[in-house]
């Protein structure tokens, strides 16, 4: 089994339901989710003229290698109505592989670790909740250290759903 850190996000429709459905499909098809961060309401990144996101980190144990896993995650996104109309645009669901064990990988379909993680507070905050001591295999810093030096100061708030 390999441990993978996924970031899910949504800012269209009932975002909490989309995140729950994505987690359910991931667990049914790809492996066992062993940890989940809280849900976080986060400011949009890249294209700020859109609704805020809900984000959650999932820690997945899987038998799949990185690229087949990525293809399966893209299938889940497509099945859930993900449209890729504009870069950094609004979306029903987004599922990113942040880390796959300590693998370094670069292909057309996947770059590991996620190349922008150290610049994205919306990924680092929920990741720190579930894996504060995880070490970035290229930067050789923990998630806590990356968050401490992150230049992104966008709003990331734990979301309490009633």
Q: What's the CA gap between 62 and 32, in Å, rounded? A: 7
The span from the CA of 140 to the CA of 36, in Å, is: 24
CA dihedral 124, 128, 129, 130 (to 10 degrees): 110
Catalytic residue among 71, 96, 108, 120: 96
Strands (E) in 63-162, as ranges, are 94-100, 105-106, 111-112, 156-158
Among the options 65, 82, 84, 148, which is catalytic? 82
Catalytic site includes residue 120: no
DSSP summary character for residue 68: H
From 35, 75, 84, 94, the catalytic residue? 94
Q: Which of 91, 120, 121, 152 is catalytic?
A: 91
Query: Does the annotation count 94 as an active-site position?
Result: yes
Reply yes or no on whether 121 is catalytic.
Answer: no
- 39 with 55: CB under 8 angstroms? yes
Count of residues in the chain:
162
- 82 catalytic residue (yes or no): yes
The residues that are catalytic are: 82, 91, 94, 96
């Amino acid at each position: 089994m390999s441990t993978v850190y996924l970031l899910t996000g949504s800012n269209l429709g009932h975002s909490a339901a989309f995140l729950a459905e994505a987690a359910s499909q991931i667990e049914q098809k790809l492996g066992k989710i062993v940890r989940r961060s809280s849900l976080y309401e986060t400011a949009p990144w890249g294209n700020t003229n859109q609704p805020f996101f809900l984000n959650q980190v999932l820690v997945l144990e899987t038998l799949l290698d990185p690229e087949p896993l990525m293809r399966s995650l893209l299938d889940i996104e497509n099945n859930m109505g993900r449209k890729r109309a504009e870069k950094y645009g609004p979306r029903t669901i987004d599922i990113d592989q942040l880390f796959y064990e300590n693998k370094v990988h670069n292909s057309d379909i996947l770059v590991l670790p996620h190349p922008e993680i150290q610049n994205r507070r919306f990924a680092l905050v929920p990741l720190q909740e579930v894996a504060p001591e995880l070490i970035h295999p290229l930067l050789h810093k923990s998630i806590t250290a990356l968050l401490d030096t992150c230049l992104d100061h966008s709003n990331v708030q734990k979301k309490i759903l009633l």
